[in-house]
Structure formats: C-alpha cells, structure tokens
Structure 1
Amino acid sequence: MARFELLGTAIIPGKGTQLRLLQRNDEFSIRIAGTSGELMNTRLHGSEDALATLACERITDHPAPKVLIGGLGMGFTLAAALQSLGDAAEVTVAELVPEVEQWNLGPLGSASGYPLKDPRAKVHIGDVVQLIKASPASYDAILLDIDNGPEGLTQKENDWLYSAAGIAAAQEALRPEGILAYWSAGQDPAFTERLKRAGLSAEAVTVRAHRPGKGAKHVIWLAW
C-alpha cells in the first residue's frame, strides 16, 4: 500500500501547534504533528457536507443569502453550501491558518472541486469571532466547524463560540429568520440546553462521517 507523503506544514496562530498536510494517491489527510490521529480526511466528509446542506436548505427562499462559515478545512462545507444556494448567494469563509487557504487552492482543492474558485466564495484570513462581532444582522446562516465542537481540541479559546456569550453574538450577527449550525464530533446535551436557554429552538441531528449508514457518528446542531 502506498504511504502518505508530507505536502506541507502550518502553525496555528497563537497556539504553536503544527498542522501537517499529507497525500496518499488521491487521498488527503490533515493531522496535528505529534499525534497519531487525524483532524480531517478527504474520504470522510459526509458530516461536513451535512453542516451546509441542513442549514442552507432553510434559507433557499431568502433573496441574495449571505452565509458565514467558520473553518475552511478541506473545503467540503463551502462546496456543499455553494451547491445548495443560487447565483445571488455570497459565502464567506473565515480561516485562521493562511496555509489552509493555499492548500485548498492547490492539489487539496481537487477533492472538493475547488470551491474557492467560485466567484460567490470569499475568504477572510483571521478568527471567525472577529467577523461575528463586527457584523450585526449580516448573515442568513452561520455555519461553525471550529475545532472538535463544544469541547475545543486544538485551541481552548474556541470554547467561547459555544458559550452563552458566543451564542448571543452569533444571534446578533444573523438576519431575521436566519439559522445557526454547529458541527461536533459527538453529542453534548449541555450545549443543546445552552442554545435553548438563549431563546433558540434547537435540534441536534446525528449524521455520518462517510455517507448515510457508514462512518463515525457526528452531530450537527441547528438553532433558529
């Protein structure tokens, strides 16, 4: 069997943790240096697709919808959002690590169909929190695929997005009848209750990492 080859490395700003991009034939993997597990793999993106499709199907009747995605990753959530929305849509992706954008513009982008080349897509290099705080009533949907979910893995600072203050800030950044969507590697009943205490209707949807019925179970929270 072919072995993974290292294509690139990147440091997560403010953390010092190194990300590693690897390729084996047509398969790509992003891992944290010094660990045996992987953060992302191009063969396992069913839940990233679902993050976009479950949320965007709620806003297809909105005129010129604007969507904010926290985390570019391997581009699958962006690709699914663009596929779900019409020509008048605008999708902004906030990505903390500049090299991840370059990886998606390079060979890695082939796995998701190079969504960054779509004229409806925009990239903000920086923390998605900055955009949320600076953009009141700006988005029809905010999709957050940051870290491992409510329990941060690569950055403890990511927990703010899942706190009461973070949820309130995201609510303020939504347009009327907008929707929030959060990706997580697993269930977290406390987060469901936190969304409800914020006055939101909340639904935790179990999805598969690979395809329906296959792969690990992940969770998408929809809140409106």
Structure 2
Amino acid sequence: MHTHTTAPVVLDRREGPYGEVVLRRHGELLQIIANGCFLMDTSDGRSERLLVDAARDALDDRPAPDVLIGGLGVGFSLAHAAADPRWGRIAVVERERAIIDWHRGGPLAGLSGAALADSRTEILHTDLVAYVEGTDDTFDALCLDIDNGPDWTVTEGNNSLYSPAGLASCKARLNPGGVLAVWSAQPSSIFEDSLRNAGFCGVRTKEIPVARGVPDVVHLGVRAA
C-alpha cells in the first residue's frame, strides 16, 4: 500500500451549476471532489467495470445492445464498455462540463482517450434525471453511477431518480428485456423493494468485494420482455 507523503495538488477548480468541482492529483491518483465531498479517484475501477459487465451479463444474447452510462466520472465505466466489442451504441450522460473537458484532452484523457475516439461513443452534456425524464431514446442497458448509492445522493435533485417516478422514467428508457444496473456503496433492501414496486423483474444485488469494509454492490432489475 503506497503512503502519500505529498499533499494533493489541485489541477483544476470550476464553479458549475451544481457547485464546485475540483480535479486534483494525489501521488499517482487523480481525484474528483464535488462541493468538498470526495467523489472518486483513479485507484481501482473494479466496481465501475463490474457495473457494466453485470448489465451485459443480465441481458439476453441480443446483438450489439445499446448502453446508457449515467456519470462519466474518471472514465472507468466508459473505457470498459468501449473495450468490449459486444456493445453497440455507448452513450454517457455527464452534467459537469468540467469533467467532460478533463477527459477531452485534459488530465483524464489517458483513461478515456481510446473510448472517446470510438465511433460507438457519444457524450451527452446534460443532467441524468432531466435526460431520462425528457428523452424518447431507449437503450438495452442503463448503468447508473452518479451517487454513492440510492441512500446517499451527491445532490438533492438526484433523489428523484430513485423515486417511483424516477424509476418509472428509467424503465421507460429501456427496451423490453433491458436491464437497469445501479452502483451503490452499500446494499439497500429498500431500493430493491422500490425496483420491484416500479415493476422491474429479476431484481437482485451483486456484491463487489472491497479491500475492507462493506462491499460495494450493483442493484439489478429487468424490464419485462
């Protein structure tokens, strides 16, 4: 385990519509901080990759399924999806212009450059909640990683995504047999119930072992075929 003797260095700091976002380097890691709250860093990526794989595995063997990834973050989910030739269209919704800029030729380009150059990839600069409520677009998989989980949202507005209306909107964005996968820092039986109440079937929770503490999880639900 590396111990960081150096203090974090701020690479960019922006005031966005949802408050302040900061990109900083701490030793070899790049970290994203939102309104003083640590969001994510480039240390692992295991759970972001599992989020995408769990969604893919839950789908039937339809050719080239389309996926919507909620949250660009440090780019692990996007890079992992683009590295899999089985996916069709890969759309990523990110509401922070700063984060998109950090990937397009900024410090995070090393993680996502190849994925952004992939012709299947498209970045949508918009709020995820507004997007799922307002678009007619449909996908075979929705992979959502915009919070620390349904019980611990980064901003107040994100709560509505996990509400009955928000889950109904997510379901409406899915093609029949499509899968909703939601990352969470801890299992939530309440959220499992919410998925069932919203009419999702095959609801289950997949654990991602972490070095210590409570495992991360991916909550899965399928729109009936």
Same fold per superposition (TM over 0.5): yes
- Aligned-residue RMSD, C-alpha: 2.1
Segments of structure 1 that go 5 or more residues without pairing to the other structure are: none
Give 1:133 shift. Answer: 2.4
Helix, strand or coil: the match of 1:141? strand
Residue by residue over 1:145-176, the C-alpha shift from the partner in whole angstroms, topping out at 9 and shown as x without a partner, is 11221134321110111111111111111111
1:3-60 CA-partner distances (Å, limit 9, x unpaired):
32111112342x32x121111343211123545xx21110132111111111023347
Change (3 A) 1:207 1:32: same
Identity %: 33
**CA separation of 1:75 and 1:215: change in aligned 2, threshold 3 A:** farther
Partner residue, 2:204: 203
d(CA) in 2 for partners of 1:8, 1:137: 33
Aligned residues: 215
Secondary structure of the 1:107 match is: coil
Determine the C-alpha separation between the residues in 2 that align with 1:198 and 1:12: 33
Shift of 1:78: 0.9
Aligned AA (1:119): S
User: How far apart, in 2, do the equivalents of 1:110 and 1:215 lie?
Assistant: 28
Secondary structure of the 1:3 match is coil
- Hey, what's the Cα distance between the residues in 2 that align with 1:220 and 1:100? 23
CA contact (8 A) 1:60 1:85 kept: no
Q: How does 1:21-100 map to 2 (within 5 A)?
A: 21-34=23-36, 38-59=38-59, 61-86=61-86, 89-100=88-99
- Measured in 2, the distance between the counterparts of 1:22 and 1:151 equals 27
Is the deviation greater in 117-126 or in 26-35?
Answer: 26-35
Q: Which runs of at least 4 in structure 1 moved beyond 6 Å after TM superposition? A: none
Return the TM-score normalized by structure 2. 0.86
